[in-house]
Chains A and B, each alone.
Chain A
């Protein structure tokens, strides 16, 4: 199996097969990253396409000094931040859930309707609901730490903050998530 750098070199030479192999290798991780951040499949797919488009456009700038996956997630992170900014600037299209779980509609979201929820695992639906109640910043730091297993130094470098700030943000996000879980469970009907 060809390594990432070989695939990149071939893709830059115009090999469609090399590019598709590279995309298939990482699209699952990127798609799930996007899914957790956006909260619905349509936006996740759009964001993933945007990420890979950005990757392809800048492929010739990848110097191979770091791992391709780190570089890929840096682009994904930047795209996710851009999306969060656009949503803040255009709140009409914001599909995030309200802070108070009592205000959550049953059929929230474009794709997380009853049909989509039936396709998804129940645990994913819970994670979706809770993550969407966090701010984009909190969601992102939990994503990078918990799902991508990045160190606080790596997160700090990526977000241009100090490692201590990254730790504090992570702690605050975890606390908020815990509080939401308690509120959510209290509101859930007993089985």
Chain B
């Protein structure tokens, strides 16, 4: 087989459900490719041999045996318990808090306002934007920011005061530890360097021995 398309062409040729356009492509290739034609001619008897199979009837067996087996759960999700149940006052503890939260959320979002006077009460939706001016809002935000900064500063000062001594001790210990580590590193580096030198010395010796051996071999008649 020298045509790289042979597996595809052979497989598609034996595909009885190939689309007309694909069938045409296969026929065109076969008309031009002797390798694929030869391979097809070689393999056709294998397909024919398979198709010579004679259908055998199934023997008698206990067909209803399966019905004694349990069925798997259906693929569709069953409705959740109580999903379609009607609301009742018996379950009020479950849905009243949720309903109250929902009502309050809607009231806040729609800026609901209830005015009660001697003449009765009035429910209105939507805030009056003219009640609050931009300078007032800016001043309020600045005051809040200042207050927040003061609180942060107080917290930081108290924290520093409480842990100040401990921090100083810890810093001294940290510096000592760094010094010790530095000395250890220098010692390790020196030892490693010494080992390196020793190995180099051994290597030079080996090379010298090799060179003298080669020279000796070369001097032989």
Contact = CB atoms under 8 A, between A and B. Distances in A.
A53 B69 contact: yes
Contacts, number: 133
Given A23-B63, A49-B61, A146-B50, A56 B71 contact: yes
A11 to B, nearest CB: 8
Nearest to A48: B58
A128 to B, nearest CB: 9
| Residue in B61, B70, B75 with the greatest tally of chain A CB atoms within 10 Å | B61
Nearest to B51: A146
Interface string A134-150: 00000000100111011
Contacts of A149: 16-17
14 contacts: A23-B63, A23-B66, A24-B63, A30-B58, A31-B58, A36-B53, A53-B66, A53-B69, A57-B69, A142-B50, A147-B53, A151-B15, A164-B8, A171-B11
Interface in A158-181: 164, 166-168, 170-172, 174-175, 177-178, 181
A114 interface: no
B65 interface: yes
Contacts of B3: none
Interface stretch (A79-87, A88-96, A98-106, A116-124): A116-124
Contacts of A73: none
B54 interface: yes
Given A32-B55, A142-B50, A177-B49, A63 B42 contact: no
Given A41-B59, A181-B49, A63 B75 contact: yes
B69 A178 contact: no
Nearest to A123: B52
A167 B63 contact: no
A124 B51 contact: no
A130 B51 CA distance: 13
Contacts of B11: 152, 166-168, 170-171
Contact of B74 (A61, A145, A175, A178): A61
A31 B55 CA distance: 9
Interface of A: 12, 14, 16, 19-20, 23-24, 27-28, 30-32, 35-36, 41, 45, 48-49, 52-53, 55-63, 120-121, 123-124, 126-127, 130, 142, 145-147, 149-152, 164, 166-168, 170-172, 174-175, 177-178, 181
Contacts of B43: 174-175, 178
Given A127-B52, A152-B12, 13 more contacts: A19-B63, A19-B67, A32-B56, A35-B56, A41-B59, A53-B69, A61-B72, A121-B54, A123-B53, A124-B53, A127-B50, A152-B11, A175-B46
B47 interface: yes
A146 B48 CA distance: 10
Contact of A178 (B45, B58, B67): B45
A174 B10 contact: yes
Given A60-B75, A147-B50, A181-B49, A31 B63 contact: no
A27 B58 contact: yes
Contacts of B51: 146
Contacts of B15: 145, 151-152
Contacts of A32: 53, 55-56
B73 interface: yes
Given A145-B14, A181-B45, A181-B46, A56 B55 contact: no
A65 B56 CA distance: 30
B47 A12 contact: no
A130 B14 contact: no
Contact of A19 (B6, B10, B58, B66): B66
